[in-house]
């Protein structure tokens, strides 16, 4: 939690419309000594354990002629998806992310190609390691990126916003009391919010599985949502 600027400003209403510019993009409040205001800005964060994991799995074939690369890619593609489904993932939770036949540009004037394919797999956090292990065993040689999230991020946003609003009002009341004035009506309020996701990004190669019979030890990251409230109050 961070404290932002607390300030007194003068403000006037022209034709019943307030206009003041504290932050870029906000409406303008014209300044006049006939009225005083108090402005506060407060940020709050809410952190929760994830209930959903988005696992990225994929592969790329060794360079060969286009037909051979496509044939090998087809074999790997079907084997990986079959292994993921056997590990308990439903078809509706598997989505193609990208697939392409690429020329091998590591060798100048090469006429060899490689097939590259990537999927996202949605599962609960407790089964990520098991599914990743199954995919890598089946040939998913470029896999391991994980996004930790929740099924209802809007609820976290609302909680962060409520907390920020409560703290902004509390700061305004404390500041008004300390300055020997009384807090009046709310004149203007705005908010911003954004997700903060903590991913785990292990790069897993198929050859690593042969050296270790146990799945990776993966600990779910926290999901954090933050919100900032900027409020302007009249003071009496």
Q: Give yes or no for residue 24 having a pLDDT over 50.
A: no
CATH classification of the domain holding 122: 3.30.70.2970
- pLDDT, one tens digit per residue, over 194-208 is 655 554 444 444 444
- pLDDT at residue 13 above 50? no
- Which of 4-8, 54-58, 225-229 is predicted least confidently? 4-8
Comparison of pLDDT for 54 and 110, the residue scoring more: 54
Residue 48's pLDDT is: 93
Residues 66-118: tens digit of each pLDDT: 999 999 999 999 999 999 999 999 999 999 999 999 888 877 777 899 999 99
Whether 56 and 32 map to the same domain: the answer is no
Q: Give me the pLDDT at residue 219, please.
A: 85
Q: Domain of 168: which CATH number?
A: 3.30.110
In a domain, 120, yes or no: yes
Give the pTM.
0.70
What pLDDT, in 10s, does the model give residues 116-163? Answer: 999 999 999 999 999 999 999 999 999 999 999 999 999 999 999 999
Greatest extent of the chain over all pairs of C-alpha atoms, in Å: 81
Asked if residue 18 has pLDDT above 80, the reply is: no
Q: What is the pLDDT of residue 221?
A: 87
- Does an H or E element contain 168, and which? helix 153-178
State residue 71's pLDDT score. Answer: 96
Output the pLDDT for position 87. 95
Together in a domain, 26 and 99:
no
Does the residue 213 lie in any domain? no
Q: Do residues 40 and 77 share a domain?
A: no
Residue 109: per-residue pLDDT: 77
Domain-embedded: residue 100: yes
pLDDT over 60 at 55, yes or no: yes
Specify if 117 maps to a domain: yes
pLDDT digits (tens, 9 = 90+) for 32-52: 556 688 899 999 999 999 999
Asked whether residue 214 is domain-assigned, the answer is no
- The answer to whether 50 and 223 have CB atoms below 8 angstroms apart is yes
CB within 8 Å of 45: residues ≥ 6 apart? 1, 160, 196, 224, 225, 226
φ/ψ of residue 67, rounded to 5: -65, -40
Mean pLDDT of 26-31: 45
Residue 215 domain-assigned? Answer: no
What pLDDT sits at residue 33? Answer: 55
For 214-236, give one letter per residue: b (16+ CB within 10 A) or e. Answer: ebbebebbebbbbbbbbbbbebe
Provide the domain limits for residue 161. Answer: 7-45+154-195+226-235
């Amino acid at each position: 939690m961070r404290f932002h600027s607390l300030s007194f400003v003068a403000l006037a209403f022209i034709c019943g419309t307030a206009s003041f510019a504290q932050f870029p993009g906000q409406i303008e409040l014209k300044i006049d000594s006939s009225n005083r205001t108090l402005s506060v800005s407060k940020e709050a964060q809410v952190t929760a354990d994830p209930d959903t994991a988005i696992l990225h799995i994929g592969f790329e074939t060794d360079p060969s002629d286009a037909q051979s690369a496509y044939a090998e890619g087809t074999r790997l593609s079907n084997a990986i998806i079959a292994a993921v489904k056997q590990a308990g993932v439903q078809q509706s939770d598997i989505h193609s992310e990208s697939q392409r036949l690429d020329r091998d540009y590591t060798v100048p004037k090469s006429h060899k190609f490689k097939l590259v394919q990537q999927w996202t797999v949605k599962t609960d956090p407790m089964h990520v390691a098991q599914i990743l292990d199954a995919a890598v065993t089946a040939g998913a040689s470029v896999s391991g990126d994980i996004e930790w999230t929740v099924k209802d991020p809007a609820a976290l946003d609302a909680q962060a916003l409520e907390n920020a609003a409560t703290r902004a009002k509390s700061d305004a009341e404390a500041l008004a009391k300390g300055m020997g004035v009384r807090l009046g009506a709310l004149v203007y309020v705005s908010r911003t919010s954004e997700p903060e996701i903590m991913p785990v990004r292990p790069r897993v190669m198929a050859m690593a599985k042969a050296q270790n019979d146990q799945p990776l030890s993966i600990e779910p990251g926290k999901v954090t949502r933050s919100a900032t409230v900027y409020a302007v109050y009249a003071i009496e």
